[in-house]
Structures are given as C-alpha cells and as structure tokens.
Amino acid sequence: MVNTFPWLTVLWAVPTIGAAIVILIPAGQRVLAKWLALAVSVVGLGVAVVLAVGFDPAGKQYQFVESHPWIPSFGTGYILGVDGIALALVVLTAVLMPLLIIAGWNDATDRTGLAGRSVQAYLALMLAVEGMVFMSLVALDILLFYVFFEAMLIPMYFLIGGFGGENRSRAAVKFLLYNLFGGLVMLAAVIGLYVVTAQSDVFGSGTFDFRAIVEAVASGRLVLSPAVGSFLFLSFMFAFAVKAPLWPFHRWLPDAAVEATPASAVLMMAIMDKVGTFGMLRYCLPLFPDAATYFRPVIITLAVIGIVYGAVLAIGQVDVMRLIAYTSISHFGFIILGIFVMTSQGQSGSTLYMINHGISTAALFLIAGFLVSRRGSRLIASYGGVQKVAPVLAGTFLVAGLATLSLPGLAPFISEFLVLIGTFTRYPVLAVFAATALVLSAVYILWTYQRMMTGPVREDDGDGTDAVRNLRDLVPRELAVVAPLIALLLVLGIYPKPALDVINPAVHHTLTIMGQTDPVPSAPPTVAEGSR
C-alpha cells in the first residue's frame, strides 16, 4: 500500500491545493487562514513522515515511483520518485514549514491593493513555494523539474516584494532577474539535451526521462562529445550556482534575505536554495560525468573562495540579518565543495550539511528576527546586555550561533567534518584553506554575541526604537518555533546515523555511475621496506 499509493503526488498537491483554498478565504477571516495554513503544513509533514517510514535504504534507488504520460510527442512524462538525498530534503522542508508559519504568524500586514487579504496572500504564497519545492525534489522528468524549478521564483518574488522591508521592491527584482537569467541558460541546455537524445539511436526519439538518460550515459550507449557535454554541464551548473548561490553568483542573496520577512527569508535560504545544490547532485554529476570531472578543480576553487569570502564579509557587517545572510554564502560553499570533491565522505557530508544548515540557519535567523521585531533595529550597535532582560532569547541565540560555527555536539559539526575529510583526501591544500572558516566563523558569531547580548544594558538612543531594557523574552508562540529547532540541532549532533543511513546508498549510487572511487591513502614505507 505504501509503495503503490501516489504519496508523492499527495506530497506536493497538499500544499498547492491548500494555497488555493487559503487565498479564497474571505478577507475578514484572517485567523481562520492562519490556522488552515498551519493545518495544511502539518498534513504535509505527515505525508513526509509516511515516506520516511516506508523508504527502504537497502531497496531500489528510486522508490514510490509514479509514471504517467504527460506530453508523449515531446518525450516527457509525469514521472516522480524519491531517493535518499531527495527524501532528506523533503523531510527538512516538511519539518520547517509549520515552524515558519508559526514564526510568521504576525508578519503579514494589510497593504494597498490587497483589499485586506494580505494575510491570506502571504500564507498562500508560502504554501505555494513549499509545493513547488516538493515537486522539484521528486521529479524524475527533466522538463517537469525545470518547470517547477522556475515556477517557484514567482511566489518567492511576491513574498519579498509584497511583504518585505523598505527596499523590498529592489531586492525582489534583483532576486528574480538573477534567477530567471540562470533558468534561461538552463532552458537552452534542457532543449539541447532533448536534441541529443533525439539524434541518438538509443531512444528512437527524444526523451526527458532522467533515469533512462542516466542509464544510457553510465552504460556508454549515449556518448556526448566533449564540447556538447561541457556546454550542457555548464548551463545546468550555472542555473544551480545562481540558485544555491555559489560565489560569484551570490549578489542577490544578502539583499533578498534582509528585505524579506524572517520567515520567508528562511524559506528562501534554508529550503528553496537547497534545490540548487540538490540539482548539482541529481543532474550535473550523473548526466555529465566527464564534464563534471573536468571542471571539478574550477568549481571547488570557487567554493573555497565562497567559504572564506562569506565568512570574512560576515565579520565586517553591522546589520545582524545581513551578517547571517553572508554566513549562508560561506555554508553553501562547503556544500558545493563536498559535492564536487566526489568522495563518499564529501557528498554524504554535503547532503547532511543541507539538512543541518537548514535547521541552524532557521534557528539563528528567526531568533534574530524575533529580537529585531522587538527593538525595531537590525543594527548590532543598537543592542547590548540583552541576556540580562531576555535570557531565554539570548541563550537560544547562542546555541544557534554555536551550531552555525560547527561546535562539536551540534548538528553542523559532523557534516562540516565529513566535507573537510572528503576534501582532504583529494585536495589537501584546498581543505586547509576551507578549514580557516572554522576560525572566522568563531569570530563573527562570538563577537556578535558579545556585542549584542553581553555587557551593560544599552540605554535608549532616542531614535524611536524600543529601549533594550523593555525587551520581552520569548513568548510561548516563539518558543514553539525555537525549541524544536534547538532539539534537532542537539539530536542530529549526537546521533546523525539515521540520516546518514538514508543518504549514503544514494551517494554511493551517484559515485558508481560516475566511475568515481574514494582515494586510497598511501601508507609510509616501513623500516624494513626503507632499508631495501
């Protein structure tokens, strides 16, 4: 029953249909809209739990497969399936979504042109993004994936531009233009890949079936010329690098993260942007193994630059929300580094890093958002002595910050450790440069905590913001958001085995398709051997 019922269709249909219902709720029923959106997100979490329980790590590569004709003349179908990597991100999305709705409970305010329906619009857009992310993660047809990969930009654009800060319009346009351009380049590659399959004798006609194309590439029946393979790989990679984002394609992220509401910013950084790194693992490596291996040194060099660049710029920020946005650029560098070193430790660590980054960034950004909503200022200099007046808020901020700097015992540590180990076995020099981020992250987190949370309580600046001494501690609604995130950071930091048991077989499958094996350490000669 579990594997025959169309669970993956239900997974993406629940939030999508829920979004349509929420937007139709009458303007005066804002509370009903909030509770309905929360209920829809909880149902989505329930479906994800069913998938996680029914998934067999030792079973087939893709499970819960659904396959139906869509546009047969174009060789495209409604093909869904989930492997261990996709399942991990599905569960992350489903877990975070109810927490984001609770966190953004009071974010939406009535704006001109929405006729008092801003709450309904805000929640419907959040659910729409969730549904499109789900579809992107489970699609096994390349054209189907592309459609939802691009479509998710529209609701996110309106979330930033309709409900963000003073410069929201500029940030939203910048976000959309960067990502649409990346998607346009990818569209050329999607069409090019279809032409290649149509001209091949393997399929008889063009196809977008991901599994069939990968099988043909792996078996050697479909051979791409170096020029064609490089063009297609770079086009896919460019779109994913913008979405992720990889340095130097990151310029849109800090503005979008700062101007969006905290909940929608987390939806973007912790959930939607993961589709970019997921696409690198799912599409770039198996479809174009030769090109991926050829361009590997360039990509991991950019990743290491991004790691250091993001950490250094985070240290220099005076805006706490912008600081956290730059830390994400550094973390995405680690994720991409682990993917392209092409070792089992690196790729398993990268996938686990996607989960842990989502949780830690959600915790840190939302707690900072709760603080900013009280004081009315994003400037670090506007705070001081917060731990004296709001000890729970300060304490949870510290735990989330320590997770961000990968303190042992908290979830991001093991994923960052795996990435560095996997990198060191192939590129020891780059691994050393990447490891400098461990020191830099300690600087920007601990220095920020010192300036904002410790010392004497800062006096009122007389600028219209609420005085620090009047700040409330976390209320029950906010604790309901923060407590599960802190618990997940602790549990996955101490016992990541269940997640890795699901991830590792999928990683092994990807490396096998690419013909990659882990480097064998060379042992130093023994005394007896050295004397010969």
Rounded Cα gap, residues 512 and 342, in angstroms: 11
Q: Give the rounded percent of residues in the chain with a pLDDT score beyond 70.
A: 94
The DSSP symbol for 8 reads H
Q: N- to C-terminal Cα distance for the chain? A: 66
How many residues can be counted in the chain?
Answer: 532
- How much is the average pLDDT of 303-311? 92
Task: Identify the pLDDT of residue 139.
Answer: 93
Instruction: Please tell me the distance from the alpha carbon of residue 365 to that of residue 263, in angstroms, as a whole number.
Output: 8
- The pLDDT value recorded for residue 378 is 86
Residue 129 tokens read as: 């993004």
Count CB neighbours of 512 within 10 A: 12
Strand partners, 43: none
| 206 DSSP 8-state letter | -
pLDDT for residue 464:
52
* Per-residue pLDDT reduced to its tens digit, 355-403: 999 999 999 999 999 998 888 888 888 888 888 888 999 999 999 999 9
Task: pLDDT band for 21, please (50, 70, 90 cuts).
Answer: very high
CA distance linking residue 312 with residue 33, whole number of Å: 42
176 in Cβ contact with 158 (< 8 Å): no
The one-character DSSP state at 167 is T
User: Which helix (H) or strand (E) segment is 70 a member of?
Assistant: strand 63-71
Question: What's residue 112's pLDDT?
Answer: 41
Q: Is the pLDDT of residue 74 over 90?
A: no
Sequence-separated (6 or more) residues with CB below 8 Å from residue 284: 233, 236, 237, 240, 292
What's the pLDDT at 302? 94
Which stretch, 191-200, 247-256, 391-400, 449-458, has highest mean pLDDT?
Answer: 391-400
pLDDT band at residue 129 under the 50/70/90 scheme: very high
> Above 90 in pLDDT, residue 222?
no
Question: For residues 490 and 453, what is the distance between their CA atoms, to the nearest angstrom?
Answer: 22
pTM above 0.75, yes or no: yes
**Taking the C-alpha atoms of 434, 437, 439 and 443 in order, what is their torsion angle to the nearest 10 degrees?**
170
Region 324-339 average pLDDT? 91
The pLDDT-based confidence of 28 (bands split at 50, 70, 90) is confident
What is the percentage of the chain residues whose pLDDT exceeds 90? 50
pLDDT on residue 95 = 95
**What number is the average pLDDT over the span 262-285?**
90
In this prediction, residue 531 carries a pLDDT of 46
Query: Has residue 155 got a pLDDT over 70?
Result: yes
Asked if residue 15 has pLDDT above 60, the reply is yes
> What pLDDT score does 110 carry?
47
Cα→Cα distances 368→63, 98, 470, Å: 39, 19, 17
Q: Poorest-confidence range of 288-297, 369-378, 486-495? A: 369-378
* DSSP structure string for 266-301: HIIIIIITHHHHHHIIIIIHHH-HHHHHHSHHHHHH
| pLDDT of 473 strictly over 90 | no
